[in-house]
Each structure stands twice: as C-alpha cells, then as structure tokens.
C-alpha cells in the first residue's frame, strides 16, 4: 500500500494530488485571469470613481466659494440695511420731535392769540358798555334837566341858554 491511498481510504484528512479531480488547472486559469484582467477592470472602475469624486469635490468647493461670497454680500447688505434702518429711525425720531415742538409752539401761539382776542373782546365790550352807560346817564341827565328846567328857567334865561348853545354849535 502506498501512502496516499492509505490516507484517502480511511476517510480522514488526505491530499488528492490528481490535478483533474481537484480542478487545480481550472483554479490556476481563473486566478491567472483575475490577476491579468482584474487590475485593469477594477483599476478603470476605481479611476472613474476617483475622477467623479474629484469632480464632485471641485464642484462642491466652487459652490462653497460662491456660497461664501454670496453670504458675505448678504451680510454686507444686511449691515447696510440695518444701518439705513437705524438712520431712518433716528430721522423719524428727530422729525417727530420737530413736529411735536412745532405743534407746541403753534398751540402756545394760538393760546396767546386767543387770549389777546378775548382781552380785545373784553376791552371792546367794556368800552361798549361804558359808552352805553354814558349815553344812558346823559339821556337820564337830559331828561331830568328838561323836566326841571322849565320850572327853574324864566324866558330871559332860556333865551340866553339857547343863544349860548347856538354860539357853541357855530364855533364847533
């Protein structure tokens, strides 16, 4: 008995050195084909994938730069808008203050004008009442004088009074 057949006959571990039964030739051909063609095939796929990734990274960097530039412009625009809004707010406050002061001034002037008008009206009314009282007093004095005159004046005194009144009218 030879040694390889002893190992194979017992059903335990053994080596089968027959190349046709073990497919060693097929395995060698497959391994050689993989060694020969797989690097080119996988290399091409990996190279295309690497190029696609690099292109995507370049595009992403370009978009990042554009987005950063847009962000900087937007932040600058926001800062300018905030500055302009603050200026408008300050101008609005100053305008409101000026309007308030102008309204206060006009109110004071209107109150002074009304006070002067009421004082003038009061003086006018007082003058009118005074004139009316003078006329009434003069009328009452004339009525009283006319009522008492005929009994106190004789004909010579009445003539003299009439002549004097006529002279006073002529001189005036």
Q: Per-residue pLDDT tens for 38-49?
A: 777 777 888 899
User: Which class for 47: exposed (0-12), middle (13-18), buried (19 or more C-beta within 10 A)?
Assistant: exposed
Distance (Å, whole) CA 86 – CA 80:
10
pLDDT at 150: 67
pLDDT at 78: 95
Does residue 144 belong to any structural domain of this protein?
no
pLDDT at 86: 95
Does residue 154 belong to any structural domain of this protein?
no
Q: What is the pLDDT of residues 55-90, one digit of tens each?
A: 999 999 999 999 999 999 999 999 999 999 999 999
pTM, rounded to two decimals = 0.40
Residues contacting residue 16 through CB under 8 Å, at least 6 positions apart: 8, 22
Return mean pLDDT, the chain: 83
Does residue 90 belong to any structural domain of this protein?
yes
Does residue 54 belong to any structural domain of this protein?
yes
Radius of gyration of the chain (CA): 66
- Domain count for the chain: 1
> Do 113 and 105 form a contact (C-beta atoms < 8 A)?
no
Domain that holds residue 35: 18-112
Averaged over successive runs of 10 residues, the pLDDT of the chain (172 residues) comes to: 50 68 80 82 85 95 95 95 95 94 94 89 88 85 74 74 79 64
What token pair was written down for 58?
Answer: 């370049």
Does residue 120 belong to any structural domain of this protein?
no
Does residue 83 belong to any structural domain of this protein?
yes
């Amino acid at each position: 008995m030879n040694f390889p057949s002893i190992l194979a006959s017992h059903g335990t571990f053994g080596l089968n050195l027959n190349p046709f039964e073990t497919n060693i030739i097929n395995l060698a051909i497959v391994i050689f084909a993989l060694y020969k063609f797989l690097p080119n095939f996988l290399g091409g796929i990996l190279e295309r994938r690497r190029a696609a990734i690099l292109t995507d990274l370049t595009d992403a960097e370009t978009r990042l730069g554009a987005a950063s530039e847009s962000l900087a412009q937007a932040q600058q625009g926001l800062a300018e808008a905030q500055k302009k809004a603050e200026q408008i707010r300050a101008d609005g406050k100053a305008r409101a203050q000026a309007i308030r002061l102008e309204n206060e001034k006009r109110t004071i002037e209107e109150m002074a004008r009304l006070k002067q008008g009421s004082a003038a009206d009061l003086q006018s009314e007082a003058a009118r009442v005074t004139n009316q009282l003078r006329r009434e007093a003069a009328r009452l004095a004339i009525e009283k004088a006319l009522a008492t005159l005929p009994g106190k004046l004789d004909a010579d005194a009445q003539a003299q009074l009439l002549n004097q009144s006529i002279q006073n009218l002529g001189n005036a």
